Structure 1
């Protein structure tokens, strides 16, 4: 690591033989130096540094040491530097010296080191006053101490800090890996992570519910973050968010989604009193990787499991219940018993509904058979159970997803229930509804089902000859047909409704038959014409 400067370093006396590079806060031989700060630099006796202003800000971290004799070094600064100068081009003007300090403070430098004995015998009073006003640390560097000694000290300390970050992250990764492979798995990992950070940590499932929090008191804090987790759910994984409370007594929180293939399978939240250090970020990243590996099973394994579930579903639908129960025992822990329903879902996001159903079943201990079936998802769930009710509630919030639900039945009659769910799903898709129960299909009106594009096209084609006639000739054939059919073929009642003589109506109906090429004595023809008229809103 090197220290850049905009001008060559001024000769500033010989280096003290006992100048100690690195951080004097670390014990001799210690492998764990503290962060590089102005305080740690000032604490090195061999450098003989004197703090003239900003002593209360010495805990500022030093990112770099930069030497410049320019009267305006700001274009070459990024912030966080300890700027060293002998004031060669500073000038004797009090206002110019004060302006120099204010520019440095605005640029966010960590501090100003002023070398005396060359351009100035002592640090100008205007610099000291301005630095005190801006709470900018101003450090006097005596002539026997060369600037290179400060650069070496900071460089050594930064290198030690980076080495510590790497070694600490490796140690943390080993510790978290052992926890993840243990009996408690993710729970132990979250607890170890919270201990490592000296704060709290929480794991959420894909729905945003808290799975585990450590320490125990952190559960309430984690639950209050649900709105932030929900916002993160709308973004593809991996994504993260950093939250800082406006109140000083609150913590800093980092949220991270867990998952691959842009699909979040869970979320991790960590809260600390202060912002995460680079070392702590390494630790969090290690935890994220381990949790992702734990939650994200291999794609081949998931596909194999889905194929097994689909095969099991086909056994159930074929009525092979005894065989299905034998297979489902070790695979799923059993099949739903008693009154069940078949739920058939289509659209996107199917995965979100599937995750919710599995989480609901896990939470309550309900047996559940969930399997893909082509572009759809089939669920065999307890009638009125948590999976049934949670899916009904969730589908209302999942845009682009439709659900068909069978009538209550037994697992032995699941094949017929599947057909009911298919019909209910067809109604939901055609009517634009989120969910339709089979009972609604049996007791509701048939007319809403006629909104299908194919039915509308058939109705237009069937009635087109009458409408073309009415546009070019006298006689309201379509309205007359509607009145006659609505009165069940009663001539007098229909004629009164139209305000014409019954013989006129008879003539019109004969004309209808001629144009359509169909007999109105045929019951099927009457039914088709009536449905066509109702489909078109007549």
Structure 2
């Protein structure tokens, strides 16, 4: 800690006396400055102990009060007046003004040179800086040993919390809490989810400070919290949060920065290992999709502890033609891996380049953590769509992959975030067609009938819909419309005349029904 006015006053060799502001002596002294100007504030930065003999101070109470106000407004932490030259004693108006502003006022006796006060403060500041450097080196050495040991990230978080005398928490790239120390801080760390999520959307490295009664912190705790993203290529690989009772000191900031650097290196190193594992996992996935499940199971047993067992789904993510969402696909793969890792759920992931663009293939348990995480990611990223197969056994992964590809094609054509194979197999024909294409087809085909209904008597579009819905049964359709069947026959002849098509043709009826279903009516 830097020296305070209290520590300076306690130095018996200086013989200083506190005349006013005794309740504010714990203020840190950043420097000592001597000035005989009546307004030295242009040369101050704040945090100084100002020394003066008062040669140019005014003699009136208003002048002395104005002088004190200027110093207090400039952030001066204390004023020392040397007596015996221009002032035999400290002027009473100066004492009153200092007391009013809460500015500590010190009487400096004539035998005490100002340089002696400066030396005391300079020595204390140098000692503080030396201690900060020494402490920082010790902390870096301790944290480095922790990082190189078993469970390196966990050990670093624990040693950091102990060094800061508070708590520390590590979150993965998705914002999920992975390590917290001490254990009692889990509740506090859990409340930072919103702040971590905000940082996750910003380029790394970035940080946020939440002090005292901030919105992100329970007011009962009143922690001073710093949250820092971890990453070397503008993408956050994780997040570190620390909470302390008081604001972090410069020395503690050095310790925190050392921990951030070590955790970043650890995460980047882990990322390289994960990339190698991902390449092996991609090869295994292709073997499974090709029907070589027995061989893949033997290989996976030694590498990953086995393959996903039980009911699985294949998910294929892709982007519309021309869209650049490679970062979103990378995040999808990472979030899927993290979701599986948190609950011990096995999965296989492969990325491939295709037409119209790159795709990500994920084989995961049906409705498991990975499946849910993938659905969540595509909802967050516009332009990325997901095709999901029907539930299947692992031996049927090839068929499930084809289902997921068809579902993805439907999702991309319809501009939807995700489509399940069940929707493709059991749903309407309309989602299988591009929305713009269907709309244009319907408008072109039905335009003559709509124009007729706007300008002439007779509701041809409504009548056609009723007739087609009753499969050409005149009496039933006429009853639905509330008209005579002869009126309905007349209207259908007008439809044929306006469209130039025969309603006896089943293809014409199918096209008209499709147009009516997708149109505005």
Q: TM-score, normalised by structure 2?
A: 0.84
In the alignment, what sits opposite 1:181?
A: 148
> Quick check: 1:306–1:372 contact (8 Å CA) kept in 2?
no
User: Compared with structure 1, are the counterparts of its residues 253 and 468 closer, same or farther at alpha carbon in structure 2 (3 Å cutoff)?
Assistant: closer
Within 5 A, what are the aligned runs for 1:388-537?
A: 388-392=371-375, 402-429=385-412, 434-450=417-433, 452-464=435-447, 466-467=449-450, 478=461, 481-491=464-474, 518-537=501-520
Q: Which segments of 5 or more consecutive residues in structure 2 lack a partner in the other structure?
A: 214-218, 320-324
Task: Give the C-alpha shift of residue 379 in structure 1.
Answer: 1.8
In the alignment, what sits opposite 1:336?
A: 308
Q: TM-score, normalised by structure 1?
A: 0.82
In the alignment, what sits opposite 2:4?
A: 37
> What SS does structure 2 have at the residue aligned with 1:130?
helix
> Quick check: 1:114–1:139 contact (8 Å CA) kept in 2?
yes
Given candidates 338, 353, 357, the residue that maps to 1:359 is 338
> What SS does structure 1 have at the residue aligned with 2:158?
helix
In the alignment, what sits opposite 1:281?
A: 253
For 2:360 and 2:228, how far apart are their aligned partners in 1? 29
Deviations 1:213-236 (A, max 9, x none): 222222233223334333433433
For 1:304 and 1:195, how far apart are their aligned partners in 2? 35
In the alignment, what sits opposite 2:185?
A: 218
> What SS does structure 2 have at the residue aligned with 1:59?
coil
> Quick check: 2:282–2:348 contact (8 Å CA) kept in 1?
no
For 1:492 and 1:253, how far apart are their aligned partners in 2? 77
In the alignment, what sits opposite 2:105?
A: 138
Stretch deviating more after TM superposition (176-185 or 130-139): 130-139
> Quick check: 1:336–1:368 contact (8 Å CA) kept in 2?
yes
For 1:272 and 1:470, how far apart are their aligned partners in 2? 74
For 2:175 and 2:270, how far apart are their aligned partners in 1? 22
> What SS does structure 2 have at the residue aligned with 1:378?
strand
Stretch deviating more after TM superposition (266-275 or 217-226): 217-226
For 1:188 and 1:499, how far apart are their aligned partners in 2? 81
In the alignment, what sits opposite 2:75?
A: 108
Given candidates 349, 352, 363, the residue that maps to 1:370 is 349
In the alignment, what sits opposite 1:269?
A: 241
Task: Give the C-alpha shift of residue 239 in structure 1.
Answer: 2.1
For 1:119 and 1:262, how far apart are their aligned partners in 2? 62
Tell me if 1:61 matches 2:28.
Answer: yes
For 2:282 and 2:31, how far apart are their aligned partners in 1? 61
In the alignment, what sits opposite 2:230?
A: 258
> What SS does structure 2 have at the residue aligned with 1:423?
helix
Task: Give the C-alpha shift of residue 301 in structure 1.
Answer: 6.2
Task: Give the C-alpha shift of residue 283 in structure 1.
Answer: 0.6
User: Compared with structure 1, are the counterparts of its residues 118 and 180 closer, same or farther at alpha carbon in structure 2 (3 Å cutoff)?
Assistant: same
For 2:488 and 2:47, how far apart are their aligned partners in 1? 96
> Quick check: 1:251–1:272 contact (8 Å CA) kept in 2?
yes
User: Compared with structure 1, are the counterparts of its residues 478 and 54 closer, same or farther at alpha carbon in structure 2 (3 Å cutoff)?
Assistant: closer
In the alignment, what sits opposite 2:322?
A: none
For 2:445 and 2:366, how far apart are their aligned partners in 1? 44
> Quick check: 1:343–1:404 contact (8 Å CA) kept in 2?
yes
Task: Give the C-alpha shift of residue 477 in structure 1.
Answer: 5.7
> Quick check: 1:450–1:535 contact (8 Å CA) kept in 2?
no
Given candidates 199, 203, 218, the residue that maps to 2:170 is 203
Q: Which segments of 5 or more consecutive residues in structure 1 lack a partner in the other structure?
A: 1-33
> Quick check: 1:450–1:456 contact (8 Å CA) kept in 2?
no
User: Compared with structure 1, are the counterparts of its residues 57 and 468 closer, same or farther at alpha carbon in structure 2 (3 Å cutoff)?
Assistant: closer
In the alignment, what sits opposite 2:263?
A: 291
Stretch deviating more after TM superposition (177-186 or 108-117): 108-117
Task: Give the C-alpha shift of residue 112 in structure 1.
Answer: 0.7
Given candidates 16, 21, 27, the residue that maps to 1:49 is 16
For 1:143 and 1:320, how far apart are their aligned partners in 2? 95
In the alignment, what sits opposite 1:165?
A: 132
For 2:40 and 2:368, how far apart are their aligned partners in 1? 71
User: Compared with structure 1, are the counterparts of its residues 507 and 391 closer, same or farther at alpha carbon in structure 2 (3 Å cutoff)?
Assistant: same
Task: Give the C-alpha shift of residue 303 in structure 1.
Answer: 5.5
User: Compared with structure 1, are the counterparts of its residues 400 and 140 closer, same or farther at alpha carbon in structure 2 (3 Å cutoff)?
Assistant: farther
For 1:516 and 1:298, how far apart are their aligned partners in 2? 67
> What SS does structure 2 have at the residue aligned with 1:296?
helix
User: Compared with structure 1, are the counterparts of its residues 129 and 471 closer, same or farther at alpha carbon in structure 2 (3 Å cutoff)?
Assistant: closer
User: Compared with structure 1, are the counterparts of its residues 179 and 263 closer, same or farther at alpha carbon in structure 2 (3 Å cutoff)?
Assistant: same
For 1:480 and 1:54, how far apart are their aligned partners in 2? 93
Deviations 1:468-509 (A, max 9, x none): 666788876655544443332345655676688877866766
Q: How many residues align?
A: 505
